[in-house]
Amino acid sequence: MTRVLTLLLAALLALPIAAEAQKPIKVGMPMPLSGPPALFGEPATKGAQMYIDEINAKGGVLGRKIELLTRDSKADANEAVRVARELILKENVDFLVGTLTSAEGPAVSVVAKENKIVFIAPIPKTDQLTAADKLHPYVFRVAANTTMEGRSAAEIVAKWPVTRIGTIAFDYAYGQDVTRAFVEHIKKVKPSVQIVDQQWPKLGEQDYNPFINAQMAKKPEAVVSSIWGGFFVTFSKQAKALGYFDALKYNFIGLGEAGSPETTKSMGADYPTGIWGNSYDAFYWEDNPGAHKDYTARISKYLKDQYPSSWAIQGYIGMQFLVEAIKKANSTDSDKVAKALLGLTIDTPIGKQTLREKDHQANRGQLYGKTAKDAKYPFSIMKPVTYVDPTKFMD
Amino acid sequence: MKTLSRVPWALLVFAAAFFVPAAGSRYYTFLANDVVIWALFATSLNLLVGYTGLVSFGHAAYFGIGAYTTGILMKKVGVPFLLAFPAAGVVAGLFALVFGFFCVRLTRIYFAMLTLAFAQIVWAICFKWNEVTGGEQGMPEIPYPDFGWLERVAAWLPIVGGYRTSDYFYFLTLVLVAVCLWLLRRVVGSPFGRMLTAIRENPERAEFIGVNVRRYELAAFVVAGAFAGLAGGLFGIFNRGVFPDFAYWTKSSEVLIMTLLGGMGTFIGPALGALALIWLNQQIVSYTQYWPLILGTILIVLLFVFPGGIAGAVESAARRLRRRRQVA
Amino acid sequence: MPDLSFVFAQSLSGLTAAMFLFLIASGLSLIFGVLRVLNFAHGSFYMLGAYSAYQIVQWLGTGPVSFWVAAFGAAAGVALLGGIVERFLFQRLYGKEELYHLLFTYALVLVLGDVAKVLWGTQQKSLSRPPGLTGALSLFGATIPHYNLFIILLGPAIALGFWFALQRTRAGRFIRAAALDRETLGALGVNVNALYTGVFVLASFLGGLGGALITPMRAIVPGMDTEVIVEAFVVVVIGGLGSFWGTFLGALIYGQVLSFGILFFPRFSIFSIFALMAAVLIIRPWGLLGKPLK
């Protein structure tokens, strides 16, 4: 009788624990799902969701399933704060993974800090997010930052047989920071370089003709651009029509992921094939660690697209870090997970990634390559495409 | 029926609002805080739109200026909230004076377009002036006002103690916004306010009886701008950061929609509109990314069916009830 | 002293931008002149024209005429949409305050923007220049793409065609009369409502056509509706709300200011559009060729 009672008591005591264990781990994901940045935000949420679906299929993490709650931050810092608060205080999410723009990231970082919730940023590149005066235990970034991007470009351009270089970038934090990082580094690596022209169209410019003409008049031998997304499409269509790329002999590097499959795919024959570009991911990357092929097959199936987006991987890697940290900490308590994230190295589809202890920044390099036509695809690709390891650029 | 109107509704709502942190979750405190600040912002706009008949597309400029003033003073210069908050109103009011001077010389659509142009110029300055405003990245982490003195008060009045900083800020916002709304109510009810209404109904007649219409309109513009600035000062702290999009035309359109949604014809309308829009936004954004579609549809329905907004609909329903009672 | 070919290239850039803007702004100006409404949704029609043209090209493939068929088809589709919106929704608001018209058009912007998002998603789209206009010619050392030349010539062609229609045809006379005095026109037995619908349809056609024709030169992305509407407003304000040639002149001036502005004020292009609008509204609010609004 006592044994039955003891067992019953144990069962009753275990019930709340069991109930607790069944509650899903909630992750909030504020991302722009409307407006121009939705181009990146939407695939990132899908990449995150795919990873979560896979983990849940294997039984979840610590015996619990993960639930992703996405919210449209509208690329507005105020809206991002609102949805972050709603996610934390109303939906009681355990963690936040998200934001895209350079204003959203730092804004949500403050909310995360005050609520002591781990916040992983998969896309914002602004140095501000992990700068010494803004860093706190709960913020982490798995995107590249402007310093890494600018310097990687400098290393590549230094190898070109050119000395007169021009830059073109949007006149706001991202464009200014990447350009500055490039200029500072190339002067170190190749002192003979002269910056002969700098163009600063406003963010969201639709008519680049005046800037293109002005730049061509200075006759640079190479140009470094950080014009991104749909704006790059607009810019390069106009530039190509004016003979800009021909004049540069295609010594042009398009940072801001101008080499991404989305961009080359959407432009088709209009793409200025022969320029250099970078991208977070490329489904055609052959010379890659084995995990990439598998990932590409899965994301292609998930997105129902034989040429899947290159932005999904950022959401995917963001979630990977989170889940691995939860496993390592054996807990969903943000303080423990934050500690577990420091210095954490994981295997991602692009290789090993480590979140540095000193600034919570991952060594997220990007794929760089010169674009060329390829018979296998109806659009240009970067060929050969190399992953540029940024570890030496990060300080 | 008469006894109902004698009840000091405003006072009751104000008192009840203090219980939100105790009764509701933290989330509802933030929601209430959001609504209260926007209620002030929308009511300040209504001084222009509803009472003076001047439709401004750029009211967010003053909201943004107020936010940056308080933010810069508190974060970069270390000025205490006691000074930084009124400074928001003063600086915003000054800008309203300068911009308003040019705007009130125009009417109708030209007025509206110039307010928009000035607001976008303010936005552009905030976006570009990296050294002062932080540029596109804004100024995250504006410090909360110092609530240390409340802890000392809590020693002999324990009910005051034991709340979080964000709750204290909510109480502070409640008090400040209540005072501002009370002031605005006085303005609206004063001879000055009644003259504004006369100007809205027929500017030529007002001119005819010797009223300097432009001066009245400018005064209204400045008062509206100043109170929008105060709302902005509070919002920068609430939002944990000040960003250039505080002055962007989308914020101006948001507050204009609130004013319409709640009803431009009454004093309390815009505040109701703020409550409705913020609550709706939160509800819908949790389910779908197509908030603009829903908002647009609501607006269209509103324009055709309830042009008086929520307050207007409530008023006409109340009127109909009263008539039925009288007949019965 | 900047060299001649550069100056020439910049002024041609300005001209191309101007003619595009004119194409779009003319519809806006028409609606304002006749209906006295500032139609925020005009940018949405522009965007829908672009997306529709893209869609039609997807269906037809890239044959020699598919682009032109797509452009015309898109413009016609948008015109139809404009007509429906005007006839069944907008007309109900005519007696009411101006604010309601503005808010209605703004609500349309919200709705149509999301409709485009539902139909075409958030990824950017792009169309190539039509075969036959893919080359460029070299003049005074500057490269001028043929397509740009086409737009530069199309602008004045449409302006002249319009002007002719407004001055010489019966419908044109009615439109001008409606702009001056709607009530009298109605009293004279003209079906003013039908006229208004017609004007809206025509303006939407122009907006949609502008959107379709700009696709070889710009990406088709969400947000293109609000981008263009502000520029179009500025152009109309500079020239004078309601003045047709004013819009043309405004577009020309704006195009050149943009082109050369970046040389004198290189990092202030973010201000140029609003500073210009503010300057015109302060100094001469009815624009260069407009008449003071009563």
Cβ-defined contact of B121 to C271 (cutoff 8 Å): yes
Per-residue pLDDT of B250-295, as tens digits, reads: 899 999 999 988 988 889 999 999 999 999 988 888 888 888 899 9
The residues with which A168 forms a beta bridge, in sequence order, are: A199, A225
Distance, CA of C232 to CA of C41 (rounded, Å): 12
From the CB of residue A335, how many other CB atoms can be counted at a distance below 10 Å?
A: 13
DSSP bridge partners of A97: A120
Which value, in Å, is the radius of gyration of the alpha carbons in chain B? 20
Residue whose C-alpha is closest to residue A242's, from A210, A268, A274: A210
Provide, rounded to the nearest whole percent, the portion of chain A with pLDDT above 90: 72
Q: How far apart are CA A107 and CA A139, in angstroms?
A: 11
Residue C190 neighbours by CB distance under 10 Å: 15
Predicted confidence band of residue A8 (pLDDT cuts 50, 70, 90): low
At B192 the pLDDT is: 92
Ranges of beta strands (E only) in chain C are 136-139, 142-145
3 state SS for C102-140: HHHHHHHHHHHHHHHHHHHCCCCECCCCCCCCCCEEEEC
For residue A16, pLDDT beyond 80: no
What pLDDT does residue B204 have? 86
Q: How far is residue C206's CA from residue C155's CA, in Å, rounded to a whole number?
A: 11
A106 vs B267: CA distance, rounded Å? 37
Nearest residue of C to residue B123 by CA position?
C271
Q: Identify the residue among B137, B139, B277, B284 best suited for mutation to test binding to A, counting A beta carbons within 10 A and taking the highest.
A: B137
Closest C-alpha among A86, A101, A85 to residue A32: A101
Selection from B259, B110, B267 nearest residue B187 by Cα:
B267
Contact A329, A340 (CB under 8 A): yes
pLDDT of res. B21 = 82
* DSSP H or E segment with residue B189: helix B165-189
Give me the residue spans of the domains in chain C: 19-221
| pLDDT value, residue A229 | 87
- Work out the pLDDT band at B1, boundaries 50, 70, 90: very low
- The span from the CA of B244 to the CA of B64, in Å, is 7
Residue A167 in tokens: 């830059």
- Full-model pTM: 0.90
Question: Is the pLDDT score of A199 beyond 70?
Answer: yes
Q: Amino acid identity, residue C158?
A: I
Residue scoring higher pLDDT (A152 or C122):
A152
Can you give the pLDDT at residue A274? 94
Interface partners of chain B (CB pairs < 8 Å, 3 or more) are A, C
- The DSSP letter of residue B77 is I
What would the pLDDT profile of B191-232 be if each residue is shown by its tens digit? 999 999 998 888 888 888 888 889 999 999 999 999 999 999
DSSP A252: E
Q: Name the amino acid, one letter, at A271.
A: Y
Positions in chain C whose pLDDT score sits under 70: 1-2, 293-294
What DSSP designation does C2 have?
A: -
Q: How far is CA A24 from CA A18, A62, A88, B25, B285, in A?
A: 12, 10, 15, 21, 21
- CA-CA distance, A24 to A330, in Å (whole number)? 15
State residue A208's pLDDT score.
94
Give CA–CA dist C241/C293, Å, rounded: 9
Helix axes B249-262, B269-285, angle to 10 degrees: 120
pLDDT interval class at B149 (50, 70, 90): confident
Q: A166 has which bridge partners?
A: A197, A223
pLDDT band per the 50, 70, 90 thresholds, residue B66: very high
Across the beta sheet with A164-168, what order do the strands follow? A194-199, A164-168, A222-225, A252-254, A276-279, A366-372, A381-388
Cβ distance B246 to A33 less than 8 Å, yes or no, reads: no
End-to-end Cα spacing for chain C: 47
> Tell me, what's the pLDDT at A279?
94
Work out the average pLDDT over A27-47. Answer: 90
Compute the average pLDDT of residues A368-378: 92
**What is chain C's alpha carbon radius of gyration, rounded to the nearest angstrom?**
19
Residues from chain C that touch A241, judged by Cβ atoms under 8 A, are 129, 136, 145, 147-148, 217
User: Rounded CA gap, C176 and C33, in Å?
Assistant: 9
Question: Can you tell me the distance from the alpha carbon of A22 to that of A182, in angstroms, rounded to the nearest whole number?
Answer: 50
Q: Is the bond into A272 cis (omega within 30 degrees of 0)?
A: no
Average pLDDT over residues B2-31: 78
Interface of A with B in 23-82 (CB under 8 A): 33-34, 69, 71-72, 76-78, 81-82
Of B114, B124, B304, the CB nearest to C271: B124
Provide φ and ψ at A296, rounded to 5°: -60, -40
Q: Do B137 and A72 touch (CB under 8 A)?
A: no
Share of chain B above pLDDT 70, in %: 97
- Of residues A382 and B163, more confidently modeled: A382
pLDDT at A209 over 60: yes
| 3-class SS of residue B123 | helix
pLDDT band at A99 (very low <50, low <70, confident <90, very high): very high
> Phi-psi category of A213—alpha, beta or left, where left has phi over 0 and alpha has psi -120 to 50?
alpha
Confidence class of residue A3 from pLDDT cuts 50, 70 and 90? Answer: low
User: Running DSSP on this structure, what letter comes out for residue A64?
Assistant: B
Residues 6+ positions from A326 with CB-CB distance below 8 Å: A25, A61, A62, A332, A337, A340
CB distance A57 to A69 below 8 Å:
no
pLDDT of residue A393: 82
Q: Which residue of B has its CA nearest to C117?
A: B290
For the record, the structure tokens of B86 come out as 């009124």
